[in-house]
Structure formats: C-alpha cells, structure tokens
C-alpha cells in the first residue's frame, strides 16, 4: 500500500489550514516507473484528473503530453508549457464550436467514435488525424465508462473509412478499460478487440499506425468501502499490456506508435488533503440503533467526490495511539450523499477527537481538484499547494 513520502508528510504536518498538497517528485517518480514498465510508449497525461499548472509543467518538462477534453484544457496545457504536438483532443463528444477552437489552437489529433463526429471534424478541423475509440465492457473497474463512449469493431471500420473519404487521416485506434481498472483481464480483452479491429481495417485497405491504450491504470493506495486495501495487480497489468503490444505489432505488420493516458496512476497516491474535524457525535438513528458520526471539514462537494466508490485512508496525527471506535465518516454539508460510508461501512476513528483536530486524507491527488464545486453550502473549494522533494511548499488557488 502507498504511503506519503517524507516530504508530503512534512508538508501536511506544517499545514494549518485545509488544503490539498501534491508531491511533484512522487508524480515524476511514477512517470519514470511507467516508462520503465512500458518502454517506448508515449505518455499523454489525462489532465482532468489533476488540472494544476504545476503538475502539467512537471510532466511536460519530462516529455509527457496531455490528453485534453475541451478547448479550455488545451489552452491551459499550452500555458503550462506542454507543446502542441503532444496534445490531443481525446473526447469523442465535441461541439462544432469546440472543434473549431481546438483546431485554431493547433490540435491536429482527435478522438472519434461516430460518423456524425467524423463529419464535424472534417468540416471544422480539415485534414486532421483521427483515432477511433473502441467500446469496452468496463468490467473490473470502479468506474466502467462502458456506455457513453466507444463503438464496436464493425463500426470502427465504418467510422475510419468515412474519415478517409472525408479527407481526414484515419491513423489510429484507442480504448479505455475503465477508471481504476482492477483486473489484468480487462486489458487483455481490450487488446484482443483492438487486434481484431486492426485486422478488419487492413482488409479494407486502412492501415493503423497508432494505438492509444487510454487510461485505467490504477492507483495503489485506495481502500474499499469497508477500509480494506484494494491492492490492484499492477505488475500483472503491465505484463499483459506488454504482451498485447507485441501481438498488435504482429497483426499490424509494421512498427506502431503507442500512447497511454494515465491519470490517477500518476497523481492519486502523491496528493493528500489536510482537513480537520468538525464534530464527532453519537445519536439515535431512525431504526433505534445508536450510531457514531465523524463530520469532517472536507467531503464530497469540496474535494472527495469519489467517496461513492471508495474510501480514502485517514490519518489522525494528534491521536496516533488512542483507542479507536467505528464511525460513519461524512463531509460538512447538509446533503445526505455527503458521506463516506452511509450504506453501512464504518471507519475506525479515535474516540477522543475534538473539533478542529487535523485529519489527513491520503491518496486523493486524483480528481479532488477537478470535481470541486464553486462552494456548495458555502464550503469553499480547496486551495492547492505543491512540493518538489524537500523544496518549500508553494500554493495556488486553481482557476474556476
């Protein structure tokens, strides 16, 4: 299980107000690990997972690019120093206006999955390169992403043939196995489907030169809704991907360019929130049982949106050796969904917590910033801070 680096630990201990802290050195280390595991595969960071300029710049300085989903993301990536040739528009949902703006900004690589989108790309980004996203079943992932995006292999052939006929360059395929994918078999199925589609494309005279492996690589520091480590089989996943890439080269009959779009894999375990206790209470529930509730200053609407699917690990630095009692952990708002485990899962918390005591929420570097509300119930969005090894902490309030 992942633990905070000494530098991140020190930054959390020094913080006197609620904030999220990102460890850029840890993020850079994960990028280096990814490259060792998947040599020769270009990295396009899924910036939606952590849209902080400092993170984008850190990765760009090390040769990574960006998977962007809107013109605003493209513009932010450019301002942060990501070269335009390392930015692609990975969202298959694009309005005419957004297509034209992305093209004006210099993007020339677009995801697609339908003839209607192909026609729009041809009209507003003439001559662009397109890669077709294949659908996956999403099985094994915490967030499956199986319905809104992607098409069948048969449709992919039709889509890329339409792209060629419209004057575009149909040069790639992509897939996404689902966010926080917990099984290696999901990758094997997706790679098999990609090989099948490549073979069908070759029979139609369409030669794929690029395969985008999408996102889904898991973070390792999460627990499930009952506090048990999720423990994804990361080594096995990488082994299956490497085998699949070799098979795709054989099917393609020539060298291929490979890309991957990691998001939470790079940032989740190297970000943590410094929060505080609002109140620890015990009260009778409607069914007559008595239940302990720990209310934190940070919850679903100001940083911990993903609590529906997982539990973040909590550290109580002022109560390391005190007795623990089970409690439901919840955020500060008056929304009933703003709770870690309102469905019955409980978290062991110190019995003597007092209002104002600091709490560290670990492994929440992914999506804590991008899912923030404008300030639901008046609870402000989290300011962001970052460190790089032992360097002093710097702060930024992300643009809304």
What residues does 8 pair with on adjacent strands? none
Q: Can 24-267 and 269-395 be said to share one CATH topology? A: no
Indicate whether 400 pLDDT > 60.
no
pLDDT in tens, 174-228: 999 999 999 999 999 999 999 999 999 999 999 999 999 999 999 999 887 667 7
Indicate whether 122 pLDDT > 90.
yes
Indicate whether 104 pLDDT > 60.
yes
Instruction: Spell out the domain ranges in the chain.
Output: 24-267, 269-395
Q: How far apart are the first and last CA of the chain?
A: 33
What residues does 174 pair with on adjacent strands? 133, 212
Predicted confidence at residue 64, as pLDDT, reads 98
- 87 touches 77 (CB < 8 A): yes
User: How far apart, in Å, are the Cα atoms of 321 and each of 77, 303, 351?
Assistant: 44, 28, 11
Q: Which are the contacts of 164, defined by CB distance < 8 A and separation ≥ 6?
A: 170, 206
User: What is the DSSP secondary-structure string of 201-254?
Assistant: HHHTT----EEE--S-PPPSS-B-TTS-B----HHHHHHHHHHHHHHHHHHHTS
Q: What are phi and psi of 244, to 5 degrees?
A: -65, -35
Question: Which residue blocks in 253-385 are alpha helix, DSSP H?
Answer: 264-267
Confidence of residue 346 (pLDDT cuts 50, 70, 90): confident
The CATH architecture to which 269-395 belongs is Beta Barrel (2.40)
The CATH architecture to which 24-267 belongs is Alpha-Beta Barrel (3.20)
pLDDT mean over 361-385: 86
Pull the structure tokens for residue 104.
């004006």
pLDDT mean over 260-265: 98
pLDDT in tens, 286-319: 899 999 999 999 999 999 988 877 778 899 999 9
Highest mean pLDDT, choosing among 196-200, 367-371, 382-386: 196-200
Give the whole-angstrom CA distance, residue 67 versus residue 75.
12
pLDDT in tens, 65-91: 999 999 999 999 999 999 999 999 999
Confidence of residue 399 (pLDDT cuts 50, 70, 90): very low
């Amino acid at each position: 299980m992942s633990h905070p680096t000494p530098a991140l630990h020190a930054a959390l201990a020094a913080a006197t107000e609620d904030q999220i802290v990102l460890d850029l050195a840890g993020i850079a280390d994960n990028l280096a690990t990814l490259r060792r595991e998947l040599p020769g595969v270009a990295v396009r960071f899924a910036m939606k997972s952590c849209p902080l300029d400092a993170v984008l710049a850190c990765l760009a300085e090390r040769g990574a690019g960006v998977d962007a989903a809107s013109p605003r993301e493209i513009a932010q990536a450019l301002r942060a120093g990501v070269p335009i040739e390392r930015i692609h528009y990975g969202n298959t949902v694009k309005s005419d206006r957004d297509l034209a703006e992305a093209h004006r900004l210099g993007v020339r690589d677009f995801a697609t999955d339908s003839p209607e989108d192909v026609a729009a790309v041809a009209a507003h980004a003439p001559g662009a390169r397109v890669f077709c996203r294949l659908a996956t079943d999403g099985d094994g992932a915490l967030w499956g992403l199986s319905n809104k995006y992607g098409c069948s292999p048969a449709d992919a052939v039709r889509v890329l043939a339409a792209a060629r006929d419209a004057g575009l360059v149909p040069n790639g395929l992509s897939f996404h196995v689902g966010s926080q994918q917990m099984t290696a078999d999901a990758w094997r199925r997706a790679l098999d489907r990609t090989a099948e589609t490549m073979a069908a494309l070759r029979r139609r005279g369409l030669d794929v030169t690029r395969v985008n492996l999408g996102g889904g690589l898991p973070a390792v520091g999460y627990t499930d809704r009952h506090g048990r480590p999720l423990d994804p089989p990361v080594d096995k996943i990488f082994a299956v991907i490497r085998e699949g890439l070799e098979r795709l080269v054989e099917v393609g009959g020539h060298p291929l360019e490979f890309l991957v779009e990691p998001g939470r894999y790079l940032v989740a375990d190297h970000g943590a929130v410094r929060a505080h206790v609002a109140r620890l209470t015990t009260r009778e529930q409607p069914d007559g049982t008595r239940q302990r509730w720990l209310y934190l200053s940070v919850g679903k609407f100001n940083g911990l949106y993903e609590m529906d699917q997982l539990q973040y690990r909590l550290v109580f630095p002022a109560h390391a050796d005190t007795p623990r009692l089970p409690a439901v952990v919840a955020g500060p708002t008056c929304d009933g969904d703003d709770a870690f485990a309102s469905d019955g899962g409980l978290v062991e918390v110190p019995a003597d917590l007092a209002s104002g005591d600091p709490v560290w929420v670990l492994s929440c570097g992914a999506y804590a910033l991008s899912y923030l509300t404008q300030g639901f119930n008046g609870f402000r969005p989290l300011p962001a801070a970052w460190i790089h090894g032992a360097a002093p902490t710097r702060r930024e309030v992300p643009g809304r």
